């Protein structure tokens, strides 16, 4: 069971003791990301993620940071999302204080040198090139661009070359000071530690956050009256697609029903779309349906790479399965299978210290409330056949339907004709 402490300045420290490991993970989460940016500085959160590894007053070079953690076998990294970002270190529990010393030094004392920033921008340019050369991953960015358009929710987390080139050291420092504040930060620690002792140690390292209020992100606007289509022509051997619908945000109780629907459609190897498209017809290597929930928006999407010549056939099969969910009740057997699968994944996904740090910390930074695995499973158990068909009828509508694809197809007229006649 986790223990949560909120300091007087608003900083939240969460400790999850684990007996079955020798490791401990310390994760610093900040409630910001690309949805908090303006167009002029799009990509600054991701740039800041990189720059915090580029030297501090105490450890002026990148290698000064890495060698201290490498010498004790530490694993460390960082990430940037649309609504939160994080820095983490995983070490043998005997080296917990070292990991906190290095991590807090990075967070509070980074130098943000201009010459290092100039070099790191080049690294990010190559990261962007890599992503765009991978249509399987890039299609997910294009899908969200289609859904949300020219607003922060629709922009790439990495930004682009044009915006990144113009971001200055002053921009990064100002952004850092605005969002790296106590009330916007969560320290999530999980592993072979004592809760009370660990909280006291963490206070010593992480009590230096400013107490300013963070700026709020811009509210997402969602307006749609007919199916949306975004075709990106590329001479690929497969057509990579994202086909789905707008759904519910992180705070909506109906999100759990969408999770189960995604599992039924394409969440497992025995799911409907995996069987029909891959196993029975051999039209795809990968196909999956997944939910996504942000604090203010959400969606359900089917993501696949398919035979170019069979793209329209696959499109029709996916849409038919969407329609079937809103017209025919799911069997009790199929519903039970997917519910058990989701519950199993919750528990199996929490076998390591870094998983627990992320599970509890991620909920806290986004929702301000932590559901235990048992509580989460109880919500899944409550879902009925009627819930599935009712939510399917609500979300599988033309004015929620969107398709993004990368491939050699240019026949937008035919695509729209199929979408308009499907639901």
Q: 88 - beta bridge partners? A: 27, 77
DSSP per residue over 86-111, as a string? EEEEEEEGGGHHHHHHHHHHHHHHB-
Tokens of 334: 């199929």
CB 43 within 8 A of CB 163: yes
83 is catalytic: no
What does the CA dihedral 358, 359, 363, 366 come to, rounded to 10 degrees? 30
| Annotated catalytic residue, options 49, 116, 201, 376 | 49
Strand ranges of the sheet holding 228-233, from the earlier edge strand across to the other edge:
228-233, 401-407, 238-246, 298-307, 284-293
Is the sign of the CA dihedral 273, 279, 281, 285 positive or negative? positive
CB 231 within 8 A of CB 415: yes
Helices (H), 224-254: none
What totals of helices (H) and strands (E) does the chain contain, helices first?
16, 11
329 DSSP assignment:
P
Cβ-contact 189, 16 below 8 angstroms: yes
Residue pair 195/18 in contact by the 8 Å Cβ criterion: no
* Bridge partners of residue 284, in order along the sequence: 306
Closest to 358 in 3D by CA, of 187, 205, 206, 182: 187
Active-site residue set: 49
């Amino acid at each position: 069971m986790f223990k949560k402490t909120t300091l007087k300045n608003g900083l939240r420290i969460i400790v999850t003791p684990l007996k079955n490991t020798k490791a401990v993970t310390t994760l610093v989460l900040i409630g910001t990301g690309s949805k908090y940016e303006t167009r002029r500085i799009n990509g600054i959160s991701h740039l800041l993620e990189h720059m915090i590894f580029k030297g501090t007053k105490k450890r002026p070079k990148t290698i000064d940071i890495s060698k201290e953690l490498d010498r004790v076998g530490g694993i460390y990294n960082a990430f940037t999302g649309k609504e939160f970002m994080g820095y983490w270190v995983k070490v043998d529990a005997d080296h917990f204080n070292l990991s906190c010393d290095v991590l807090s030094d990075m967070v509070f004392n980074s130098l943000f040198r201009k010459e290092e920033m100039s070099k790191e921008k080049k690294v990010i340019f190559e990261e962007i090139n890599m992503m765009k050369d991978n249509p399987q991953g890039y299609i997910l960015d294009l899908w969200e661009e289609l859904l949300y358009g020219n607003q922060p929710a629709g922009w790439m987390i990495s930004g682009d070359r044009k915006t990144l080139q113009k971001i200055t050291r002053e921009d990064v420092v100002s952004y850092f000071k605005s969002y790296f504040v106590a009330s916007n930060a969560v320290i999530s620690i999980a592993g072979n530690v004592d809760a009370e002792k660990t909280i006291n140690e963490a206070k010593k390292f992480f009590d230096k956050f400013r107490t300013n209020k963070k700026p709020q992100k811009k509210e997402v606007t969602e307006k749609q009256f007919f199916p949306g289509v975004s075709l990106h022509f590329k001479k690929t051997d497969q057509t990579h697609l994202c086909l789905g619908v707008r759904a519910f945000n992180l705070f909506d109780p109906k999100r759990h029903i969408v999770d189960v629907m995604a599992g039924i459609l394409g969440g497992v190897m025995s799911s409907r779309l995996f069987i029909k498209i891959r196993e029975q017809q051999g039209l795809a290597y990968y196909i999956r349906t997944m939910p996504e929930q942000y604090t203010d928006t959400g969606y359900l999407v089917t993501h696949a790479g398919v035979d170019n010549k069979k793209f329209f056939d696959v499109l029709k099969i996916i849409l038919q399965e969407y329609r079937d969910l809103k017209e025919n009740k799911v069997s009790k057997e199929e519903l039970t299978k997917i519910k058990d699968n989701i519950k199993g994944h919750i528990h199996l996904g929490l076998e390591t210290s870094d998983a627990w740090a992320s599970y509890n910390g991620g909920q806290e930074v986004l929702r301000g409330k932590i559901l235990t695995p048992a509580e989460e499973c109880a919500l899944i158990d409550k879902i009925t056949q009627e819930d599935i068909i009712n939510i399917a009828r609500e979300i599988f509508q033309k004015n929620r339907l969107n398709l993004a694809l990368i491939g050699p197809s240019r026949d937008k007229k035919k695509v729209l004709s199929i979408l308009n006649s499907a639901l």
